[in-house]
Structure 1
């Protein structure tokens, strides 16, 4: 994952994540993008992801936590980010 999503120092942060999280993050926290043949590039950190595999889907959302973060506020932000993905799925299910 990107350094902004795991904290610093990155190696220790990754070790802690590995100890605490029972499931791999998959695409979450990585990047998606492209490299063009003329030297152009565009990348984005995946902090909200929606993945379809066959007839199943999963989604993840998150953000960065810093020293003065409020656990309640961070959780509310996570729920708000997730709500966007849930809404998109509901609209897709309705055929919109």
Structure 2
């Protein structure tokens, strides 16, 4: 064989080896990237679940507050009527004196 063929074969073997190792490394990089994306997506999903839970809890608290406000409103109305009645009695007592 002449030296040109030997040089061509060596170059070809070097090219094939570099292609093989670059594919091997790129597959590992792709897997590493996929793992990192999966970890990030898991963290994001967990945080979103926590936010959703907090929103549900806040909604329940708001509903309870609304119920308390309605109850306070009816109690205030009863107190106002009682005060009005008391004023009428006081007015009657002051007139009779």
TM-score band, normalised by shorter chain: under 0.3
Structure having the larger proportion of residues in helix: 2
TM-score scaled by length of structure 2: 0.27
Structure whose alpha-carbon radius of gyration is higher: 2
